[in-house]
Structure 1
Amino acid sequence: MTGPRPQAAALALRFASRDHPVRHLVQECRTALRHRYSVGLTLAADAAQAWRVSLCAEGPLAAQGESLQINLGEGPCVQALDQEDPVLADDLDHTSATRHWPVYAQQARAHGIHAVFALPLVHRSRPARPSGLVLSLYRDRPGPADETDLRTAQDHAEAAELLLLTAPAPDDDATHAWLLPADAVVHQALGMISYRHSLTTGQALALLRAHAHTTGSDLTTLAHAIVHAGLTLPDPPDTGSPRN
């Protein structure tokens, strides 16, 4: 990306002085799209470990669509970040469009999501910043997205990137200022899992995801149980006993 379009810069300026500016921006995006889509915004905090957090979700489908991708580690958002190109899945019943994420597609359809359009923005010039941002549109019926709607969503995605780039850079050991409280507790849980089971953060995330999938839970609920209720996950294969 060579630079933001004027529309994106104007949007960022409009919301920069508000509390939770990115959340307000995503709400405005859904309004600009005449509420025909639910809108989610995801940040790749660590692309190498497929560790992503949801910044905000607006509309009846977005929260579930975002949560599924984070819990499963797969989906159109993940694919869009990996290939650094939009993923326009206009019918989740078509296996040709969902072959990279069949489990996500199946579960998304079960929650009423039948089309997803993921628009990524990848930071190439500032490696110290988060590695990628994706704005996703969720719809309850199949069919291609209107080109005007995609341009509107792209403008809002670029504005979100500008807002995040102007946020103060956190210290390496600090919780990112833009993460939701739910995401912060997941980070805490990963640290506890890493210590107890002598795992890397990536391995801890894989174990957390596997247990969430097995129990039919989501990462945030499971993380709360680990951090606040003393839940200890079973040892992964061949790791020995957790450390106390």
Structure 2
Amino acid sequence: MTESSREARLNTAFVTLADTLTDEYDVVDLLHTLMNETIEVVDAQASGLMLANGHNELELVASTSERADFVEVMQLNAGSGPCVQCFGEGRAVSVADVSETGAAWTEFRAAALLQGFHSVHAVPLRLRSETIGAMNLFRTSTGVLSDRDAAVAQALADVATIGILQERIIRETAIVTEQLQRALDSRILIEQAKGVVAESAGVEMEEAFAMLRDHARSSNLTLRSIAEGVVGRTLEVRNLVRVSTSTPTP
């Protein structure tokens, strides 16, 4: 690959990865795109990718071949290997010769060599202090990735990581916004219910609210649900009066 064609292929890789980040993108599709584009640009023949689950435990999410899939599964089962170490330390791990990894990675070494992989480069999916997974790049020859290839692999992984974390932030922000809106809606509903109770029972607004709250607590229901009952006329105000007179208000 000439220098100009490599640069063109690298630009295509970043564009393709960025295009995957649509409003409703699929994370698995994003990760497959990341792996496929990476091995097209750098000197690697296969890739596997692991993400941390809700318990911060690695799980295999995607791979470019059955051979890579097998090695990754063996690595997870053993709880050790370059990808596991990469995730745990939040830094790239490069293995120039799998056959010389020693006793620490016995299962990984056997699986990798069985599948014809002789070196590996693991890249963290990390943004600042948060590591969400790791990508393994498998090679059929010994030796380490060039500094340039290693930097490209990390840059592509960074783009995917930012996309995943951004989607998570948007989702969590949407949940918070929904909760805030519900709280605002509840306040309006409660104010309406206070007005109904105050008028029907002939009490001040503060006492009306105390009656609503007392009934909610004694019934083990939310204040919103009690307010909905009062406003919707499915809960009679006289029942609130009866509860309020028998329940001390703190």
TM-score calculated relative to the size of structure 1: 0.54
Could you give the per-residue CA deviations for residues 22-78 of structure 1, whole angstroms, max 9, x where no partner exists?
A: 2223222222236x4212221122676xx2112211146422222222222111111
Q: Is the CA contact 1:9–1:162 (under 8 Å) kept in the aligned structure 2?
A: no
Aligned equivalents of 1:32, 1:9: Cα separation in 2: 10
Q: Tell me whether 1:114 sits opposite 2:118 in the alignment.
A: yes
2:49 to 41, 51, 54: 41
Q: Could you tell me which runs of 5 or more consecutive residues in structure 2 were left unpaired when the two chains were aligned.
A: 1-10, 173-250
CA deviations over 1:125-163 (Å, ceiling 9, x no partner): 56xxxx422121101221221222212211111112012
Give structure 1 regions of 4+ aligned residues with deviation exceeding 3 angstroms.
Answer: 7-12, 121-126, 168-171
- Aligned residue among 14, 23, 43 for 2:19: 14
2:84 alignment partner in structure 1: 78
Query: Aligned letter for 1:121?
Result: L
Aligned runs of 1:143-154 on 2, under 5 Å?
Answer: 143-154=143-154
Bigger share in helix: 2
The within-5 A match list for 1:1-244 is 12-17=17-22, 18-19=25-26, 20-33=29-42, 36-45=44-53, 51-59=57-65, 61-95=67-101, 98-123=102-127, 131-168=131-168
Report the CA distance between 1:115 and its aligned residue: 0.8
Flag the structure with more relative contact order, 1 or 2, with Cα contacts below 8 A and sequence separation at least 6: 1
Query: Is this contact kept in 1: 2:92–2:122, CA < 8 A?
Result: yes
What secondary structure sits across from 1:88 in the alignment? strand
The number of residues matched between the two structures is 156
C-alpha distance in 2, partners of 1:134/1:159? 13
Larger radius of gyration: 2
| Partner Cα separation in structure 1 for residue 122 and residue 129 of structure 2 | 22
Q: Confirm or deny: 8 A CA contact 2:47 2:63 kept in the other structure.
A: yes
TM-score by length of 2: 0.53
Q: Percent identity?
A: 26
| 1:153-194 alpha-carbon deviations (Å, 9 max, x no partner) | 1111111201211234789xxxxxxxxxxxxxxxxxxxxxxx
